[in-house]
Amino acid sequence: MLVNTKKMIAVGKLQKELTQKLREVSETGEPLYVLRNNEMAAVILAADEYELLKQAEDILEHVEIAETVEKRLKGHVRSKNMPWEKMKRKHGL
């Protein structure tokens, strides 16, 4: 992952400049990389950017579910289906 070093900030400096840095992230849409002990500890994203990532995560989850269903249905023989009522009786439900 390539990170713009101008968008990196140490935790201590961020504590002093939090309001300004949040405004910058919000206005530019560019993330801010927070460093602790010279290692990346967190990333601050604009709210709309975070929302896009959450939507992408949801889409990927749906794709994974669809692939799983497709795999399971490949060997499915519809004639072996059991009616729900029969299944409940069989298991005492």
Per residue in 38-86, pLDDT (tens digit) is 999 999 999 999 999 999 999 999 999 999 999 988 888 888 888 999 9
Please state the domain count of the chain: 2
Distance CA 46, CA 7 (A): 13
Q: Do 76 and 60 lie in a common domain?
A: yes
Confidence at residue 22, expressed as pLDDT on a 0 to 100 scale: 96
Residue 80 pLDDT: 85
31 and 57 share one domain: no
Helix (H/G/I), strand (E/B), else coil: 31: coil
- What is the value of pTM for the model shown? 0.65
Strands 39-44 and 8-10: unpaired
- How far apart CA 33 and CA 43 sit, in angstroms, is 5
Is the confidence at residue 1, as pLDDT, over 70? no
Residue 3 has pLDDT above 80, yes or no: no
Report whether 12 contacts 35 (CB < 8 A): no
Domain assignment of residue 62, given as a range:
47-93
Distance (Å, rounded) from C-alpha 3 to C-alpha 29? 14
